Amino acid sequence: MTSKILIADLVGLIVVFSALAIAILVARPSDIPIILWVLAFVVVGAIAVGSWHGEKWPTTPSGSLKVAGSSNFWLGCFSTL
């Protein structure tokens, strides 16, 4: 791997982990065991890096927006349950 790819992965993980850290602040970590938060960071990090380097990840901005939009759609569908 080149250093540019590693730097891009690092920046991407910082952004993703920042969003997860905000969720931790909102969800009151005292209600949820710390081991589950550590597991969440590991799982989210692995999924993020795997999807960025996967063959099916979109390579155009419009493709990325479609993925983000569909993710938000499904979040809305399942958060009302």
pLDDT tens-digit series, residues 18-53: 888 887 788 766 777 778 878 888 888 888 888 778
Residues 20 and 44: beta-carbon distance below 8 Å:
yes
28: left (phi over 0), alpha (psi -120 to 50) or beta: left
Domain residues for 7?
A: 3-79
Question: What was the pLDDT predicted at 67?
Answer: 78
Look at the chain and report how many structural domains it folds into. Answer: 1
